[in-house]
Structure formats: C-alpha cells, structure tokens
C-alpha cells in the first residue's frame, strides 16, 4: 500500500542527487576557468594617493592635508600658499607653486616649505609676525580675512559650478557675505543668538555669521540634495581652514530637507535670527508665515521679498488695510524698507542691490486685547458695586417733623455722595539683618605656603595677597592660557608676563584691566579646582 509512494520518493531523491552532482561539477569548472584567466591577465596598477601635509604659519603645530589627485584640492593648496604664505616665500626666496607642477614636485615643494615654516617660528618676533601677516595673527575673523578664507574653501570644493551650467542646478543666487556682515552688525547679533538660513545653499552665510559674531549656533536647511552634499564638503574644508589659521567660530550645521515639513519647524522657531532668500521661492511665503507664528518674541526675520502686501513698492509702504487681517502681521513689528543698510551689489543675481525686509516678532496681539477687555469688565463691576452700596442720607431734623409725608420729601437732594474706603493695613516688613561676607581661608602674613605639586614655597604678604599664588598655579596647566589674551586686539599672549609686555609694546598709554580673579573664575570655573590641588590646604580661592 505504501510501496508506490515510497518508490516515487526514492526516484525524486535520485534525481536531486544527480542535479547536485552536475551543479558541483559545473561550479568547479567555472572556478578553474576564472583561476586560469587570472593567471594569464595582468592586474591593473594601484595608483598611490598623494597627500600634501602643509604646516601652519599662524598656529604652531597645526597642519592641513590636501589630496593632490583631486584637481580642486590641488588648486586650493596653490591658492593658499601663494596668497597667505607669500611673506615666507619672499623672506626665504622661494618661488610660488603653480598648477603645472606634478604631484611629486608639489609634494617635494611642500616638504621644503614646512622646513622653512619651522625655521620661521624659531626666529620671528611678535612685531615681525604682525608686520608680515597683519590681521591674520588675530584669533578672530575680520570681514577681509573671512573673505580670503572663504575663497580658498570654495576653491577646494568647486562650489562655483553649482549655479546653473552643465550641472543643471536650480540655484537662484546668493546674498553677499559683506551684506550679511553689515546686517549682523546693525541687528547686534552676538554669541547668545541662533542663526537659521532657509535655503542655505552651500552655507556661505552660515560661515559668515558663525565667524564674525561667534553666534551660539548657525544652521541652515537646503532642499536640493546635490547642493547639500556640496555644502557638507565646503563646511568641512572651511572648519579645517579656520583651525589652520587659528580663528574662532560658532557651531555650524547644515541639514537636507523641506522646511515646510513639521519635523523641521523646531529648527526655525528656536532661532533668534532668521534669513530667507524667499525671492527664489515666493510660493512658500504663506507656509513660512504659519511657521513664523510659533517663533519666540524678539525674533528678527530678514527676507529678500516682503511677506506682506505693499501699497507703494517704490516708497516701500505697506498696505495696512489688507495686512491687518494677517495673523503674522498682528504679532510682529514691520520695519520700514530702508531700515537695513544695503551694500554695493549685495547679491550675485543682479548688479543693483537687492532690498532687504525686516520684521520683528513682538507678541500675540489677541492676548493683549483679551487682557484689556477683562480689565474694562472689572472696572464696570466695581462701578456697579459702588452704586448699589450708596445710601440716601436723611437728616435728624426732618425725622422729627410731623408734616405730611406725601407733600414733602424727607430726603436731602442735590447733595454729592461720597464713598469712603478704608485702606487695608499693611504689615511692616521685618528688617533682615545684613549678612556678613564670607571670609575665605588664608594664612597669616609672612607665612610660607608650599605648593602641593612642586613644593615651591611662597611667602604670603598683605600686598600680594592671593594673586602671587594664582600666578603660580598657571604654571602647572596650559588649559587656562586663553585668560591672558589681549582684550583689545585678541593677540594670544599665553602668560601674565607676555600680556604685560604686549600692552607696553602695542597699546601704550592704555591701562591693562580686566585680568582679576573674579573674571578668571567666570571664564574658567574649573580653575578653582585646579588652584585647590596646588594650595587648597592653606588658601581658599
């Protein structure tokens, strides 16, 4: 009964084994053919990656790598050496590099230049260094130094090809860095602000705000993916160049996406300064206005196209009759056109300067109206209560008279009624005795206090106080050296002695101030712990 199915199963297994043997023989023959072809053909040569490592003249020990097989990075390296390291070439008589050099020649050239840079660091004086490089010795950016750094970073990433041409990029244009620098100065953008660029492109405006104002965060969003990828590459080179030149800057981030989507709204509403080049995407104005309704008070929004209807475009006047129905118009202060100063040719899409429009979020007007209505209702209620509480005053003489009540009224008329309110007693506040200032622990005068790290003994004096011990604590750590930076020009002094000499040489007649212990603890709260490891057993800071 079960014999027939068993035979069928046996035949099926036999066929499977036959197919498997054929597959194994076929795979073995294919592998032999591949091994034979690999043995007869020659492998393609591996091209080595030529990387030039350039040492910085501006920050000792800092360096930057350039891949010479990439034409754009090679061009950026040549531009960096010829523009910003020209004084080194002039002093040592070295010819400037060219794009016609091969990778091997350029590598040898960079090695020779690095040797000269290390020799320059050993021999140069601060005055000579400032004479050679000017504002580039500062640890902050000026508009001139920023423009040169941006030019090199653009050359390394070739962002100039993004606008139209063979790439097919839909890029309308960019606002100039000089215009953004002027706008930030007029709006008083500082370190606590957060900047956001809608349609940021490759991020040149974010770099400008982050470098000149050192804003807490400079972010942007770009809709087109290929422009976003170029922006990521550009920001990477820009940050490396800022480190190479020893410049400070705020945090810079770039995102790819649609700003109208809800998951991206938080980036806009949490910013205190927003820029929108909406002349390129006017169709999104209504959606952007809904997002701006969620912005915080005092948020400043700059745009290249007005968000509200205008009555006279030439005079720059807005139509109040139409705009009063707009929800955003109710909660913001619309600045007149011309509030922001325009620089010459402030955009790259036309020769005439583009107008900028400024609005400032002031608060929700509807809530203020509700408050005023509630106050009026409260006033009406109090007036009604006063009327109900008033009583007719009747004189004692009219009460005693036995005249006809119907003929004469016993109520005194035409007499002003006054209501007297008793003021509530105010409890006298108890005087809080002044607290005595907390006295920090210190040794007696003429007492020798040893350092717990190096065992150096310092005599405590009434004139020197804790200052001599604070200066000694700086010797055991370099992480607080930025405290001695010049507050006038930003020069990195690094120590008390160099800071004092710097003021004598470069700022004669100006009193050196702002280097007290209170400012030190505000800048570096961890210095108190560091001081305790040196003199914590005897002196309290």
pLDDT tens per residue across all 541 residues of the chain: 444 444 444 444 344 334 344 433 434 443 444 344 444 444 445 445 689 999 999 998 899 999 999 999 999 999 999 999 999 999 999 999 999 999 999 999 999 999 999 999 999 998 888 899 988 889 899 999 999 999 999 999 888 666 543 333 444 568 899 999 999 999 999 999 999 999 998 999 999 999 999 999 999 999 999 899 999 999 999 999 999 999 999 999 999 999 999 999 999 999 999 999 888 888 888 999 999 999 999 999 999 888 888 876 555 677 778 888 888 888 888 888 888 999 888 887 667 888 899 999 987 544 344 444 444 444 444 444 444 444 343 444 444 444 444 454 455 555 555 555 555 665 655 666 665 555 667 777 888 888 888 888 888 887 778 888 888 888 888 788 888 888 777 778 878 888 888 888 888 777 788 788 888 888 888 888 888 888 887 887 7
Which pLDDT does position 424 carry in this prediction?
61
What is d(CA 60, CA 244) in angstroms, rounded to the nearest whole number? 9
Contact 264, 74 (CB under 8 A): no
Please report the domains of the chain, with CATH numbers, ordered by start residue: 46-137 (no CATH), 154-161+174-309+325-341+354-361 (3.40.50.150), 447-535 (no CATH)
DSSP state string for 308-339:
S-EEETTTTEE-HHHHTT-HHHHSEEEPPTTS
Q: How many Cβ atoms from other residues are within 10 Å of residue 208's Cβ? A: 28
What is d(CA 152, CA 145) in angstroms, rounded to the nearest whole number? 11
Note every long-range contact of 308-311, with CB atoms under 8 Å and residues 24 or more positions apart, other chains counting: 308/334
**CA-CA-CA-CA torsion sign (302, 308, 314, 316):** negative
HSE on the CB side for 352, CA within 13 Å? Answer: 1
Is 383 exposed, middle or buried, given 0-12, 13-18 or 19+ CB atoms closer than 10 A? exposed
Q: Which residues pair with 65 in a beta bridge?
A: 53
What is d(CA 184, CA 164) in angstroms, rounded to the nearest whole number? 29
Contact 514, 487 (CB under 8 A): yes
What is d(CA 103, CA 391) in angstroms, rounded to the nearest whole number? 106
Largest CA distance in the chain: 146
Task: Collapse the DSSP code of 218 into the 3-class scheme (helix H, G, I; strand E, B; otherwise coil) and give the result.
Answer: strand
Picking from 306, 307, 304, 308, the residue whose alpha carbon sits closest to that of residue 277 is 304
What is d(CA 99, CA 109) in angstroms, rounded to the nearest whole number? 12
Is 480 exposed, middle or buried, given 0-12, 13-18 or 19+ CB atoms closer than 10 A? middle
Task: Collapse the DSSP code of 498 into the 3-class scheme (helix H, G, I; strand E, B; otherwise coil) and give the result.
Answer: helix
Mutual angle of helices 527-535 and 467-474, in 10-degree steps: 100
Which pLDDT does position 487 carry in this prediction?
79
Which pLDDT does position 11 carry in this prediction?
46
Name the pTM for this structure.
0.59
Contact 210, 139 (CB under 8 A): no
What is d(CA 528, CA 224) in angstroms, rounded to the nearest whole number? 50
């Amino acid at each position: 009964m079960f014999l027939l199915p068993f035979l069928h199963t046996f035949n099926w297994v036999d066929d499977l084994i036959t197919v498997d043997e054929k597959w194994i023989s076929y795979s073995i023959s294919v592998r032999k053919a591949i091994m034979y072809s690999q043995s007869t053909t020659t492998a393609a040569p591996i091209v080595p990656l030529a990387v030039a490592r350039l040492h910085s003249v501006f920050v000792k020990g800092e360096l930057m790598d350039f891949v010479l097989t990439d034409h754009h990075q090679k061009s950026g390296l040549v531009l960096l050496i010829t523009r910003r390291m020209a004084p080194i070439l002039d002093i040592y008589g070295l010819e400037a590099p060219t794009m016609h050099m091969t990778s091997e020649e350029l590598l040898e050239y960079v090695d020779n230049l690095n040797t000269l840079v290390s020799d320059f660091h050993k021999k140069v004086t601060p005055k000579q260094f400032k004479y050679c490089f000017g504002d580039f010795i500062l640890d902050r950016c000026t508009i001139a130094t920023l423009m040169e750094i941006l030019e090199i970073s653009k050359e390394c990433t070739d962002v100039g090809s993004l606008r139209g041409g063979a790439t097919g990029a839909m890029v309308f244009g960019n606002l100039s860095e000089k215009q953004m620098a002027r706008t930030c100065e007029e709006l008083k953008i500082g370190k606590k602000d957060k900047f956001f660029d809608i349609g940021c492109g490759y991020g040149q405006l974010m770099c400008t705000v982050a470098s000149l104002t050192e804003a807490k965060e400079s972010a942007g969003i770009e809709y087109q993916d290929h422009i976003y990828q170029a922006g990521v590459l550009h920001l990477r080179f820009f940050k490396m160049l800022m480190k190479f030149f020893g410049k400070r800057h705020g945090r810079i981030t770039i995102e790819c996406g649609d700003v109208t989507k809800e998951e991206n709204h938080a980036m806009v509403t949490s910013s205190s300064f927003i820029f929108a080049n909406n002349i390129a995407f006017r169709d999104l104005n209504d959606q952007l206005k809904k997002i701006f309704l969620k912005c915080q008070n005092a948020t400043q929004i700059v745009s290249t196209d007005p968000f509200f209807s205008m009555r006279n475009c030439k005079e720059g006047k807005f139509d109040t009759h139409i705009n009063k129905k707009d929800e955003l118009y109710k909660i913001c202060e619309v600045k007149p056109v011309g509030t922001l100063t325009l620089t010459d040719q402030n955009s790259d899409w036309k020769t005439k300067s583009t107008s900028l429009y400024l609005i400032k979020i002031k608060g929700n007007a509807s809530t203020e109206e509700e408050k005023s209505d509630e106050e009026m209702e409260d006033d009406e209620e109090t007036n009604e209560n006063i009327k109900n509480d008033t009583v007719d005053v009747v004189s004692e003489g009219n009460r005693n008279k036995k005249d006809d009540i119907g003929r004469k009224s016993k109520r005194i008329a035409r007499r002003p009624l006054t209501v007297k309110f008793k003021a509530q007693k105010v409890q006298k506040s108890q005087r809080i005795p002044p607290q005595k200032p907390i006295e920090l622990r210190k040794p007696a005068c003429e007492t020798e206090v040893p350092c717990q790290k190096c065992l150096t003994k310092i005599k405590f004096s009434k004139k020197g106080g804790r200052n001599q011990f604070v200066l000694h604590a700086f010797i055991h750590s370099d992480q607080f050296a930025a405290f001695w930076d010049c507050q006038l020009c930003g020069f990195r002094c690094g120590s008390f002695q160099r800071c004092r000499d710097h003021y004598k040489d470069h700022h004669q007649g100006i009193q050196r101030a702002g280097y007290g212990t209170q400012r030190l603890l505000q800048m570096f709260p961890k210095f108190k712990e560091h001081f305790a490891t040196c003199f914590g057993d005897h002196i309290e800071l």
